Structure 1
């Protein structure tokens, strides 16, 4: 097996080989570092790297496996951590010049669990400034590119994580999702990504209290996604909204024969490209091959629901950044300033209305869920957008129609509004640009196990290795 093949090996298989002593954590971390040296100058998925420290930890893990000592759930795996959450004593920049010298004084709950599970943090992954947009570029770190087509974006805000996984420079990666920031990059890079139920995974204050915002896993396989989710999840002493008891999701393949699945091609109002529509419909056949019954439905949503989402995001997210940004606006990216500008016109009535809109949306979706176990729809309306898109001034067209540059090409935001509905994004095919497309598998409230079970069944028919060294173009 070549180093490149080792770099793309599913995380669960690497762990199996560690235990069988046919692969060592040292060889694994070396393969990730070697791959990064080849592709990072082009992809730009990483911010700070810790390769020497990672090799030291890999040697310690190697000794444990060699001696047959008990090992932890992620022992020896190279994990890319989004440069948004914190690890005590290490920089956390949030992709912003304003935080380029900040060193964390505590460790975020999900990172604490990854480290305690034996994960080796070899790199931090790039994010747009304060995760404020759905592509990944910043003044501090520059543009992160999609390994499938460097002219296009790997999505955002967890775009560094998705680009790293797709280019074979991490075994697993963390992400966070406040408007699609796990699912969008999973879709654009051919990965699996879970937006868990709000509260399923603990988070830092104050965004642990924002029901739109969750931390979650990104991976190249559904089984790897579940592996990392099971490490992240469960109640935490510092997060009063974290759910108890812990929900451990089975990674064993279970049938979905006879499940009734609803399909919405556009959630009622999005413009959808031909590539995405075709690939989504082919993905539905995969579920039918797995024994499910799939039927098209009309949810009844209209485009005005997105105004509710922006009222929520501007009020809380924009408001949280206002003081910092207003001190020196020119330091910040246009997308950050736009979010803060929205906060200046926000008020309690608008924020309350956002909640009322979400409740109306759920009253419509609940009618669908009365008959169906899952809902499937595209993750994005286009495979991707230009890598330098900023979500503010970039012109985005679908089928000749101009759409909003931030939320007009993503179908993820409605499920942040319906925050108790878990969602998996799974790969569905490729667009003409060579960039992958994805589907969202949406579950009933709190039924994280359903969406993960469906993802495993889908992958069992479709096969693993969507993002693999045989498929990813050589980065020049």
Structure 2
């Protein structure tokens, strides 16, 4: 076996495989770090997933982890496992530019709950991954970072706003990657990069900057690794006043009788872009897989409508307009033009308009809970289309169509319900397609159990062979 082959085999290992090998003494954290750093070195100039690489710190963490494993006293379930964190998840002393070039980055004095939990569990943090301006694009286009590209094909988007986290997961930088999601920002990279992801229940993962709809969660190559990371991220932290009460959760619970499931299937979001036939076909095959196992499959009608999605878009425009207007005139000039145009179109909104939009958000919440309550899981596309060109800020290019692509994802943010993604197929030209698995309120475990089952039951043609490579180097 060549040394390059060994590097790639190591970089492709899941977090659970890594800790098993650490425990057996057949692999060490420094060796794993060297392997993933080789992959990063080879691919990062093209993929552009990192804002900050913390190689020196990671090396020290890997050496300390090796000593702990040798002494049989692992610090926690992530000890020695490479992890990346999205740039808006604070790490003490690491600048946080929020994806844009409009102002000097904020430098946090303390780490976020997410970063603290990962460190306490022994994770080796490779660095902070990029995002687009204020996280308000579903792509890897940023005024500060440039363009982040898909490891599958650099001409394709990663999705966003957890663009760097998604690229890092698919490229083999780290098996565990943490992103954030306010309308689809974990799940959109999930579908366009073939990943297993989870948007947890609202309040499940403590944040230091909670906001309506916002969560942090895992982007991984396997559902099991998502569950492992959740076992750490969901630990309590008093800084989040919106967090759920602390309750014991067995994140490895695989209890599931598929034949007893009532499965809703939604192909029409009721708003936004039309669903591409290849995407619809892939999701339809997922429903067939559940039906073949005895699940009760029921078509669902849309509960969203264009007015509700337009009001959500207006609410977010005004929110980002406040950030935009806080910049200096020179800083505003440095913001991505698409984002500046998007926020400027809300400049005439009145207080009455914003309050009416907030009322629509509450209506989305009500409708989503009511429409999904009867089902153990709801299957749907994640996005209406497969990956688009990397240079486009949105699936519709430079055209301002608001949030026409998040009719399937955003409702679960506003209702606070968990939703996972698993790759379920590919388009004719090889672009990944994911299925969204939405669950009842607070049923993160149920959603993960269904995702695990489908991941194992899906046809071979739907299983992604992740593009973990050393670029032009022959392995």
Q: Which moved more, 1:111-120 or 1:417-426?
A: 417-426
In structure 2, which of residues 353, 356, 359 is the aligned counterpart of residue 356 of structure 1?
Answer: 359
Residues 393-451 of structure 1, C-alpha deviations (whole Å, 9 max, x = no match) = 8257xxxxxxx655223444532553321111221111233221111111112222221
Aligned equivalents of 1:186 and 1:368: distance in 2?
24
Change (3 A) 1:84 1:292: same
1:334 equivalenced with 2:337 (yes/no): yes
Structure 2 counterpart of 1:223:
224
Contact 1:394 1:405 survives alignment (8 Å): no
Once structures 1 and 2 are overlaid, which stretch shifts more, 157-166 or 52-61?
52-61
The equivalent residue for 2:47 is 43
**d(CA) in 2 for partners of 1:242 and 1:473?**
39
1:161–1:173 Cα contact (<8 Å) kept: yes
**Partners of 1:361 and 1:345 in 2: CA distance:** 24
- Give 1:280 shift: 0.7
Q: CA deviation at 1:219?
A: 0.8
Alpha-carbon offset, residue 455 of structure 1: 0.8
Offset of 1:181 from its aligned partner? Answer: 0.6
Contact 1:149 1:433 in 2 (8 A): no
| Residue 330 (structure 1) shift | 0.7
CA RMSD of aligned residues (A): 2.4
- 5+ residue gaps, structure 1, are 397-403
Q: Does 1:443 align with 2:439?
A: yes
Change (3 A) 1:345 1:235: farther
- Runs of at least 5 residues in structure 2 that lack an aligned partner in the other structure: none
Q: 1:2 aligns with which of 3, 6, 31?
A: 6
For residues 442 and 152 of structure 1, the distance between their equivalents in structure 2, rounded to whole angstroms, comes to: 26
The residue that corresponds to 1:250 in the other structure is 251
Call closer, same or farther: CA 1:238–1:42 in 2, change over 3 Å. same
Structure 1 length normalisation: TM-score?
Answer: 0.91
Q: Secondary structure, in 3 states, of the residue corresponding to 1:105?
A: coil
Measured against aligned partners, the alpha-carbon deviations of 1:321-376 in whole angstroms (never above 9, x if no partner) come to 43126563111112432343245233332333234324434554445435322211
How far, CA to CA, are the matches of 1:161 and 1:463 in structure 2?
A: 27
Q: Report the counterpart of residue 17 of structure 1 in structure 2.
A: 21
Corresponding position of 1:93: 97
Task: State how far apart, in whole Å, the 2-side matches of 1:28 and 1:345 are.
Answer: 53
- 1:228-262: CA deviation from partner (whole Å, max 9, x where unpaired): 12211243211111111246342242223211010
Number of aligned pairs?
465
Is 1:78 aligned with 2:79? no
Q: TM-score, normalised by structure 2?
A: 0.91
Partner of 1:267: 269
> Which residue of 1 is the match for residue 170 of structure 2?
166
**CA 1:392 to 1:31, structure 2 compared with 1: closer, same or farther past 3 Å?**
closer
Aligned to 1:401: none
User: How much does 1:98 deviate?
Assistant: 3.6
Give the conservation status (yes or no) of the 8 Å contact 1:7–1:32: yes
Aligned partners of 1:191 and 1:466 also within 8 Å = no
**1:299 maps to what in 2?**
302
1:282–1:475 CA distance, 2 compared to 1 (3 A)? farther
Aligned to 1:431: 427
Name the CA shift for 1:430/1:474 in 2 (closer, same or farther; >3 Å): farther
Q: Does 1:113 align with 2:117?
A: yes
2:415 alignment counterpart: 419
More displaced, 17-26 or 315-324? 315-324
